Amino acid sequence: MNYSESVTVSIPGLKREIRLAHITDCHISASTPQSDQFEKEADERAKKQWRPDGRPIPLDSLCELLDFCSQTQPDLTVMTGDMVDLPFPATFSALSNVLQDAQVPYLYIFGNHETGGPVSFEQANSVFYPMYAPLTQGKPDFQIVGFDKYGNRTTENAAVYVVGLDDSSKKVSPYHFEQLRTLSLLNKPIILCIHIPIATQNNFQPILDHWHSPYFLLGYGEETDETTLEFCRFVCSEQSNVAAILCGHIHFSLTTEFAPGRMQFDAAPGYNGFVRLVKLVPAE
């Protein structure tokens, strides 16, 4: 397992350090004797595509990462999408079993692979949100975990909020944007967890150099709508209270400023055995 050096985010008002483990893009797959041929072929293809030399299959890599989290006991494990390669029944069942066995507190949001590709908000709401609801505290699209100043989880009087928001379609819905904007009115720091990184002047060129395409950025491209652009501008403004962004999707580690003094932490893929510790520390 690769383990990056930990990163820190200063949070005013904290009395105790809060530790987050960030995992993304494991791309697990599975099949059973009862699986149809299409599902079996997809499973084999994923195991070959997402298995670097010398690494275990992606499902075993995820188990390894969650075992690390179980042993080190971070306050929260954040999984920022593409934990599955495709949403087949056997793969979904395998993911459910792994998360249940791990018994670690976690926040899990969608990537584009959770739905098999970009889908409309209507399709996500009618098909995929109900499917993943048991794994996401009933809210796959917008989740909030609050911590008080002593690092205890709380639903009120939080000192910091960890928020998971679905941007897997390369868009943000007006509803989800309004949810974040409403939370920001509490004037408390927010750790925003999304799958697709927000396009900024600092991450655009490194991602373009790596992939030769802007497809991997939120807020850039022909498919981007005005709500998503406004969301990106809001997050990067001081009004949002977003202290840091945790994301995935690009399959390599990248840390850049999305606003002065505020960092966007993009994690390398979990199928490579990557986990990053994010320490929320009391501001001096």
CATH number of the domain to which 59 belongs = 3.60.21.10
Question: Would you state the structure tokens that stand for residue 61, as one six-digit string?
Answer: 């890599």
Residue-wise pLDDT for 198-218, tens only, equals 999 999 999 999 999 888 999
Q: What is the pLDDT of residue 2?
A: 59
Question: How far is the C-alpha of 217 from the C-alpha of 207, rounded, in Å?
Answer: 8
Instruction: Give 156-212 pLDDT, tens digit per residue.
Output: 889 999 999 999 999 999 999 999 999 999 999 999 999 999 999 999 999 999 999
- Tell how many helices (H) and how many strands (E) occur in the chain: 8, 13
* Exposure class string for 263-281: b at 16+ Cβ within 10 A, else e: bbbbbbbbbbbbbbbbebe
- Alpha carbons 281 and 278: distance in angstroms, whole number: 9
pLDDT-flagged residues of the chain (< 50) = none
Beta strands in the chain (DSSP E): 2-3, 7-11, 18-23, 76-79, 106-108, 142-147, 153-154, 160-165, 190-193, 242-247, 254-259, 262-266, 274-282
d(CA 183, CA 175): 12
One-letter amino acid of 131: M
What residues make up the domain containing 92?
2-282
From the list 58, 56, 48, the residue with the least C-alpha distance to 24 is 58
Q: How many domains would you assign to the chain?
A: 1
pLDDT of residue 18: 98
